[in-house]
Structure 1
Amino acid sequence: MMTAQIPDEFKDLLERPIYATIATIMPSGQPQLTEVWCNYDGEHVLINTARKRQKEKNLSARPMVTLMLRDPDNPYRWMEIRGTIELTEEGAQDHIDELARKYANVSKYYGGWAPAEAEGKETRVTGIITPTKVNAFNPPVRLHLIKK
C-alpha cells in the first residue's frame, strides 16, 4: 500500500502540542479510543505507550490504526490519519522524553510528568505509524457563529 502524504497546510496539527485520539481494535472487534501525545518525522507519525497496556496489546495483535487531530482554535478543522503501525522498544525512552518536552514542558517523562518511581517498572514502546489514507477538512468558517 502506498504511503499517504500529510497535507502541508495540516502539518501544524502534528507539530503543535495537540492531543490526538488514536483508535485501535479490541479482541472483540470493538474500537478503543485513547488520547495520545504524538509527533511527526516528515514521513511517519510517532506515538508512545508501554507494553502490556490495552492499546499496545491491540496494536500488537492488529497493527492498524486511525489517528484523529482537531485544531483547538477551530473545531471544524481536523485531520484523520489511517495507517499501519510498527512497535519498537528501540529509542522509546528518548522518544517519550521528547514528547514530554513538547506536551508538558518538562525535560524527562519520569520524574517530570509521571512519578519518578514508575521509571523502570514498565517497558516503553514507540509506535511508528505509516499513513495509508489522510482525510483533512478545513471549511470556510464564520467564526461569529461558533458558540463559545
Structure 2
Amino acid sequence: MMTAQIPDEFKDLLERPIYATVATVMPSGQPQLTEVWCNYDGEHVLINTARNRQKERNMSARPMVTLMLRDPDNPYRWMEIRGTIELTEEGAQDHIDELARKYANVSKYYGGWSPAEMEGKETRVTGIITAVKVNAFNPPVKLDLIKK
C-alpha cells in the first residue's frame, strides 16, 4: 500500500495543540469517533490511548482509522488523514507525557492531567498512523463567516 504525504502547508495542524477527531470502526461496521491529542514525527501521526478502551479495541481488530483536524482560527481549513494504524506499548507512557505537555501544559499525564492514582491502573498504547490518503482544504479567499 502506498503512503501519502502530509502537505507542508497543513503540517501546522499537527504541530499546534489542535484536537483531532479519530474515527475507528466498531464490530457492527458503524463508525466510532473520539477526540484525541496527536503529534507528528515527520513520517507518522501519533495518537495515544489506553488498552481496552473502545477505540483501542476497534483499532486492534480493524487497524484502519481516519483522523480529522480543523483549524480553530479558520474552520473552513481542514485536513483529513486516512490510514492504517499500528499499536505499541513501547514508549507509550513517555508519549502521553509529551502530549500532556503539548496540550495541557503539564509535565506528566498522570498527576498533571489525569488523576495520579490512575497511573499503573491502565496500560498506555501509542497508535502509529501511516497515511494512505490525505485530503485537505484551505479556502482560496479569507472567509469571515463566523458570527462573533
Please give the alpha-carbon distance, in whole angstroms, between the structure 1 residues aligned to 2:7 and 2:144. 27
Q: Which residue number in structure 2 is paired with residue 57 of structure 1? A: 57
Deviation of 1:18 (Å): 0.1
Q: Deviations over 1:68-90 (max 9, x none)?
A: 00000000000000000000000
Deviation of 1:102 (Å): 0.1
Deviation of 1:116 (Å): 0.1
Please give the alpha-carbon distance, in whole angstroms, between the structure 2 residues aligned to 1:91 and 1:138. 35
Residues 65 and 144 (structure 1 numbering): CA distance in 2 closer, same or farther, change over 3 Å? Answer: closer
Please give the alpha-carbon distance, in whole angstroms, between the structure 2 residues aligned to 1:140 and 1:132. 25
Please give the alpha-carbon distance, in whole angstroms, between the structure 2 residues aligned to 1:36 and 1:64. 16
Please give the alpha-carbon distance, in whole angstroms, between the structure 1 residues aligned to 2:144 and 2:132. 36
Q: What TM-score do the two structures reach when normalised by structure 2?
A: 0.98
Q: Which residue number in structure 1 is paired with residue 41 of structure 2? A: 41
Secondary structure, counterpart of 1:60 in structure 2: helix
Q: What TM-score do the two structures reach when normalised by structure 1?
A: 0.98
Count of aligned positions: 148
Please give the alpha-carbon distance, in whole angstroms, between the structure 1 residues aligned to 2:144 and 2:24. 36
Q: Deviations over 1:22-66 (max 9, x none)?
A: 000001110000000000000000000000000000000000000
Please give the alpha-carbon distance, in whole angstroms, between the structure 2 residues aligned to 1:4 and 1:15. 18
Please give the alpha-carbon distance, in whole angstroms, between the structure 1 residues aligned to 2:145 and 2:69. 22
Q: Deviations over 1:83-107 (max 9, x none)?
A: 0000000000000000000000000
Deviation of 1:141 (Å): 3.6
Deviation of 1:142 (Å): 3.9
Please give the alpha-carbon distance, in whole angstroms, between the structure 1 residues aligned to 2:6 and 2:89. 25
Please give the alpha-carbon distance, in whole angstroms, between the structure 2 residues aligned to 1:54 and 1:67. 16
Cα RMSD of the aligned pairs, angstroms, is 0.8
Deviation of 1:14 (Å): 0.0
Please give the alpha-carbon distance, in whole angstroms, between the structure 2 residues aligned to 1:42 and 1:26. 29
Please give the alpha-carbon distance, in whole angstroms, between the structure 2 residues aligned to 1:31 and 1:9. 29
| Aligned-pair identity (%) | 93
Deviation of 1:139 (Å): 1.0
Deviation of 1:144 (Å): 3.5
Structure 1, unpaired ranges of 5+: none
Deviation of 1:140 (Å): 2.3
Deviation of 1:143 (Å): 3.4
Please give the alpha-carbon distance, in whole angstroms, between the structure 2 residues aligned to 1:70 and 1:140. 16
